[in-house]
Amino acid sequence: MKKTVAILFGGESSEHEVSCVSAANVAENLDTELYDAILVGITKDGKWWIFRGSTDDLRNHVWQDKRALLSPAVISPCKAHHGLLALDGASGSFEIIRVDVVFPVLHGKNGEDGTMQGLLELAGLPYVGCDTYSSAVSMDKAATKTVCADAGIPVVPFTAAYDTCDVEALIDSVEKKYSYPMFVKPANAGSSVGITKAKSNEELRNGIALAFEHDKKLLIEPNTVGREIEVAVCGNRRPFASVCGEIRPNSDFYDYETKYVNDKSECLAPAPLDEGVAEEIRTLAVKVYTALGCSGLSRVDFFLTENGAFLNEINTIPGFTPISMYPKMMACIGIEYKDLITKLLQLAEGVE
Ligand SMILES: Nc1ncnc2c1ncn2[C@@H]1O[C@H](COP(=O)(O)OP(=O)(O)O)[C@@H](O)[C@H]1O
Ligand SMILES: [Mg+2]
């Protein structure tokens, strides 16, 4: 019997477009002998639709305009439904569409931060990736580092503050601890949105205001000089790490422009590293994953400095396009894209 997978895509975050491209690739690479897919799109303003069009429409960001191919549907939190409620606006009736497993290909706010995972827990639906707690802690860069530091993992130093803080006192305190440049970032965000590399008191002040536009909590960190090394981790109770990968932004830092707009950055997999160093970072990545209680998958990002590797952040639903680092690094250890999708769906259903 084939299983039905609901692939959730789009969403309300700044990474909506990346999610659509990732989801198109996930859908195209589903093992059709094992699974049937239902595409469930969420618009930027939070409306849910079943989409019956092509994956090219996702990739070209035109799916929302194809009204004839859209029908309203939501995940029911009622366990008895075990799936989607397809709504008929005209009659007010609904049809239950049973779902076996959910693949939330959603990044950032309301997708990767535990909110969607909470709904899927209520619904009693198995889903790919981390649970509610792990997703929420991993989304918050300060909480992530607090938990990991407690587990003995070296983390990039940081000062966290809420928007209720005394900004003058905050500036005073970080200027005493760190020298410029400093990084200011929202605690819960992604894609480098709202991040400033502040080179002066004025830029720090503006950076703080900008970060608070994106989140009520922020982090200020000293500039960490080093290489940006990433590791893909997969598994539930027995997680394993891929090879290390490396991002070379080839610009001031890996900002939104460098990530998605210009072509300057390089993404290397495997990263050119000494075997011993690579092994240490891979081990550290699994330690991070375990400390945060992750399951399914996550990408763990470090800075490799003269003094060793320091955790920067973790992404529990990393990019899944063919050029994304997570599938690239997994392919380096022999897990091709298609097999990776099957593996993640099996992990969601508890098969390890
Ligand atoms: N403390 C830091 N020192 C040096 N560079 C940093 C620091 N924090 C962030 N960066 C740069 O900014 C980029 C984005 O920051 P990151 O914390 O990874 O946020 P995001 O979740 O948006 O990817 C990093 O890839 C790196 O290039
Ligand atoms: Mg990052």
Same domain (yes/no): 286, 337: yes
Same domain (yes/no): 169, 146: no
Same domain (yes/no): 42, 84: yes
Residue 316 beta carbon below 6 angstroms from any ligand 1 atom: no
Same domain (yes/no): 270, 302: yes
pTM given for the model: 0.96
What are 314's strand-pairing partners? 300
Pair 302, 308: CB distance under 8 Å: no
Which tens digit of pLDDT belongs to each residue from 284-313?
Answer: 999 999 999 999 999 999 999 999 999 999
238 located within any domain: yes
Residue 312 beta carbon below 6 angstroms from any ligand 1 atom: yes
132 located within any domain: no
Give the domain range for residue 193: 159-222
Number of domains composing the chain: 3
What is the number of the ligand closest to the CA of 254?
1
The pLDDT score that the predictor gives to residue 192 is 83
| Calpha distance 168→159 (Å, rounded) | 14
| Calpha distance 151→146 (Å, rounded) | 9
Same domain (yes/no): 191, 273: no
Same domain (yes/no): 202, 68: no
13 located within any domain: yes
Same domain (yes/no): 211, 247: no
Same domain (yes/no): 200, 231: no
Residue 156 beta carbon below 6 angstroms from any ligand 1 atom: yes
Substitution site in 14, 183, 218 for ligand 1 pocket (most atoms within 8 Å of beta carbon): 183
Q: Which of 185, 201, 222 is the last residue of a domain?
A: 222
| Calpha distance 26→320 (Å, rounded) | 7
Same domain (yes/no): 150, 279: yes
Residue 76 beta carbon below 6 angstroms from any ligand 1 atom: no
Which tens digit of pLDDT belongs to each residue from 212-267?
Answer: 999 999 999 999 999 999 999 999 999 999 999 999 998 888 887 777 777 788 99
What are 73's strand-pairing partners? 86
Which tens digit of pLDDT belongs to each residue from 69-86?
Answer: 999 999 999 999 999 999
What is the number of the ligand closest to the CA of 185?
1
Residue 157 beta carbon below 6 angstroms from any ligand 1 atom: no
144 located within any domain: yes
- The confidence band for 120, taking pLDDT boundaries of 50, 70 and 90, is very high
Q: Which is it for the CA torsion 159, 293, 289, 329, positive or negative?
A: negative
133 located within any domain: no
Atom number in ligand 1 closest to CA 301: 18
Same domain (yes/no): 9, 111: yes
What is the number of the ligand closest to the CA of 249?
1
Residue 173 beta carbon below 6 angstroms from any ligand 1 atom: no
Same domain (yes/no): 239, 316: yes
